[in-house]
Structure 1
Amino acid sequence: MRFGIMAMQMNALIPPVNNPQDAMQHVATFSHAGLVRKLYEAGFDLIELGGDLGMWFPQTFSPPAIEELAQLKEEVGLTYTVHLPLWSVEPSTPLKAVRRGSVQALVDCIQATRPLAPQCYVLHATGALAAEFYRMNLPSAGKALILHQFQQNALQSIQAILEETGLPARQLAVETIEFPFDLTLEMAERLDLSICLDTGHVLAGFAGAVDLFSVLEQVLPRLAEIHLHDCPIPQNADQPAYGLDHQPLGSGDLDTARLLDRLNKAQFKAPIIFELTVLQALSSLQTIRQLRPHLVS
Structure 2
Amino acid sequence: MKHMRIGTTSYIIPDDILPNVRYLADKVDDIELVLFESEEMSNLPDEKTIRELARLGESHGLSYTVHFPLDIYPGSADLDERMRFMRTVERIISLTEPLDPFGYVLHLTPESYGPVPSEDIERWSTCLDMSLEMMISKYEAMRRMFCVETLSYPFSHVFPLVERYDLSVTLDIGHIWLMGYPMQDNLDLLLPRTRIAHLHGVHDGKDHLGLNKGDPTQINKFISALSNQTNKDNRERVLTLEVFSEAELDASLSLLEKSHDMMGKDWGGRYGNH
**TM-score w.r.t. length of structure 1:** 0.78
Q: CA deviation at 1:266?
A: 1.8
Q: 1:252: Cα distance to partner?
A: 2.8
Matched residue SS, 2:95? helix
2:81 corresponding residue in structure 1: 98
How far 1:2 moved relative to its partner?
2.0
Q: Which has the higher contact order (CA 8 A, sep 6+)?
A: 2
1:284 pairs with 2:252: yes
**Residue aligning to 1:40:** 25
CA, structure 1 residues 47+54, in 2 after alignment: closer, same or farther (shift >3 Å)?
farther
Q: How many residues align?
A: 256
Distance of aligned partners of 1:278 and 1:57 in 2 relative to their CA distance in 1, 3 Å threshold = farther
Q: Which moved more, 1:270-279 or 1:245-254?
A: 245-254
Tell whether the 8 Å contact from 1:122 to 1:175 is kept in structure 2 after alignment. yes
Among all aligned residue pairs of Structure 1 and Structure 2, give the percentage whose two residues are the same amino acid. 27
Which digits, 9 at most, give the CA deviation of each residue in 1:94-143, with x for residues without a partner? 1111111122112211111111110111100124x34379378xxxxxx4
Aligned AA (2:77): P
Aligned to 2:147: 173
What's the offset of the Cα at 1:51? 2.0
Q: Distance in 2 between matches of 1:216 and 1:294?
A: 18
Which residue of structure 2 aligns with residue 253 of structure 1?
A: 215
1:57-76 equivalences in 2 (<5 Å) = 58=42, 60-76=44-60
Q: What's the CA shift string for 1:208-227, capped at 9, x where partnerless?
A: x5311210110122110001
Q: Is the 8 A contact 2:230 2:237 kept in 1?
A: no
CA distance in structure 1 between the aligned counterparts of 2:153 and 2:250, rounded to whole angstroms: 30
Deviation at 1:162, TM superposition (A): 2.4
Q: Is the 8 A contact 2:34 2:68 kept in 1?
A: yes
Change in Cα spacing, 1:147 to 1:288, as seen in structure 2 (3 Å) is same
Q: Who is 1:18 aligned against?
A: none
Instruction: Answer yes or no: is the 8 Å Cα contact 1:130–1:147 preserved in 2.
Output: no
CA distance in structure 2 between the aligned counterparts of 1:200 and 1:55, rounded to whole angstroms = 30
Give, in whole Å, the separation in 2 of the partners of 1:114 and 1:167: 14
Change (3 A) 1:35 1:56: farther
**Equivalent residue, structure 1, for 2:132:** 158
Which residue of the other structure, out of 252, 265, 272, is the alignment partner of 2:228?
A: 265
Once residues 174 and 221 of structure 1 are traced to their aligned partners in structure 2, the CA distance between those partners, rounded to angstroms, is: 13
1:222 aligns with 2:222: no
Q: Which has the higher strand share?
A: 2
Change (3 A) 1:167 1:64: farther
1:81 touches 1:119 (CA, 8 Å); kept in 2? yes
Distance 1:125 1:214 in 2: 20
Note the C-alpha offset of 1:288: 2.2
2 CA distance for matches of 1:92 and 1:226?
23
Give the Å deviation of 1:279: 2.1
- Is 1:54–1:60's contact at 8 Å kept on the other side of the alignment? no
Alpha-carbon distance in 1 for matches of 2:173, 2:40: 28
Supply the distance in 1 between the matched residues of 2:196 and 2:107 (Cα, whole angstroms).
13
Report the Cα offset of residue 187 of structure 1: 1.8
What residue ranges of structure 2 are gaps of 5+ in the alignment?
Answer: 270-274
SS at match of 1:2: strand
Equivalent position amino acid for 1:106 in 2: V
8 Å contact from structure 1 (residues 4, 45) kept in 2 = yes
Answering whether residue 39 of structure 2 is matched by residue 77 of structure 1, we say no
Partner of 1:149: 123
**Deviation at residue 292 of structure 1 after TM alignment:** 3.8
Larger radius of gyration: 1
Q: Cα 1:114–1:74, aligned 2, differ >3 Å: closer, same or farther?
A: same
Instruction: Report the alpha carbon displacement of residue 293 of structure 1 after superposing the two structures with TM.
Output: 3.9
Shift in Å, 1:150: 1.4
Aligned CA RMSD, in angstroms, stands at 2.5
Q: TM-score, normalised by structure 2?
A: 0.84
Distance 1:212 1:281 in 2: 23
Runs of 5+ unmatched residues, structure 1: 14-29, 137-142, 235-240
